[in-house]
Structure 1
Amino acid sequence: MKSILILLLSTYVLASSPVTISEFSNSLEDELGLKLSRLDDVVQKVRVRKPNVFEKWLMNKSGAEATYNDKTNTIVLREKNWRGRRIVSLSDFLKGQEYQFSILASTIFHELMHADFDVLIKGSRTRSDIALKNTQRWFSQNIPGVNAHIAAHEFFGYTASDLILGIKSKLQDLYLAHGINSYKNTCFGRRGLKRIKKRLFPDGDIQFKDTLNIPNFAKEFTPNTIFVKGKDINIKGKNFPESFRNEVYHHFVENYHAPSSSQDLLEVARRQYGNLLQKCFEDI
């Protein structure tokens, strides 16, 4: 009984302390071009905390990196996602190790979007609310034996995590196509830069071009497989409607400034590496 009381008390203390998310949000805004002021509204309506001893044991047993309880609106994140009472940020990692932040950020954003689903979207009668109701209805009609509400939750959450990792990956592809190693903040060798200049900048106008040519990121950044209560569900094989993908992804475009297409990434690339791009091709 004493052990249980200690666990409950530790949960209460952790839950009652305010969490600082601003540095996490600023990192994603700077690196990926997102706008995350909506997260302030989310975290004010939920509890975000570290696991207590019992929860840590359960997470180790299941392999879960984080959990969200929709009954108590509580997000539990493993210790590695924290720096004191604040959620981890990009500045906590050395140059060249930013990918570690991206992996953590994708998990954190996934869980925060479960909360967004519950505390801001559900029952709001917005376009997002309608999209998620349609998604839930589709799971109910097409995937027997699966809790449709949880499945819709997970489709939304995996869209969030795919979005973080997807934008990061597409930006890396864009930088590499322009002769930039963003992890080392360096340019390609002279021979490689000459080939790139001939291909991309024959007129001498050195600026980022849309080398990806992806017209719709909804197809790229919404999942084909989701994980629900220990089971992988392949929704691509079940012909999940593209219109539902577009509508769910629109929530992120409208509320978090997610890119609609690869053209939208050019603004981020120019801000992050525009000066380096000019320097790379100065004497080429």
Structure 2
Amino acid sequence: MNYCKNCGAKLKMNAKFCTNCGNIIQVPIEENEQPKKSRDTIIKSKEPTTNTKNFSKINREISGGNSKLNASKIAKYVTGFFLLIVILAFLDLDMLPIHPAIAFLSFFIVLSSIVISYMFKSREEKKQTLVTGENLLAEWTLTSEQKESYANYLFENEKNNNKFILYSIAAIAIVVFGIFILVIDEGKLFMFLILIGLILFLASFSYGMPFYYKKSNLKGDGKILIGAKYAYINGYFHNWDFPLSGLKKVQKIESPFYGLNFVYYYTDRTLSHNEELFIPVPEDIDLTKLITTLIEMNQK
């Protein structure tokens, strides 16, 4: 078993970086042995010193947020709390009576929390394989101008999409509530006020969330990590490796900025959905080779 010389943590076999402190692990190369190029590494057409990256630094910058209370830990705490309620309900203590309905609800919350905890833990582990370089194909950091262009583009897209959804739901609500208001004899004013409240509630989300995401994107770390079936984009992690999911399209774009356009799909209880990503890319990265590698590795 190997140990990190910097922090003493145990290392995985053939590890390139310490997942605890981000220290680079020096792998000795035997004499007359030429290092092999990994098929999981994209070679940039140009390599200016300004774009040379230190993975240990990237690991520390991105993993800094992971050391905080994340969703997986919250789910574990919720599981423990409601599991305690279930256990106390079965013990049937006179000093601490628990209603059967609360125990029944707590049991289902425990099951849901276990599933959620597993899902988020799995996502964190997958993200770490990008951060440490294990499953990394390409990486770069957005400049301030690229980040602003990226945030503004997403803001406009989100705002337009939300407007369409808001107007569609509002139109349906007006028709449905309008029929009730015309048919019922009493409570017309109450129904009308509910309709207004519903529209205002939806409008607050429709117009407020784009501003929230824009602010979040502008405050993002600017790191872009691309893997075969994962992508870390300015603080947000995306993956399309689960069942009934995959990469639908990846192509180079010239507008609104030079970069990549991803389209991946996933399936949940409401059937199949598409997620489209637009990522600014520095001109020194060989996009043709990156796109070819992504397509090849997603055909498996």
Q: Tell me whether the two structures share a fold, i.e. TM-score over 0.5.
A: no
- Structure with greater proportional strand content: 2
- Coarse TM-score class (shorter-chain normalised): under 0.3
Larger Rg: 2
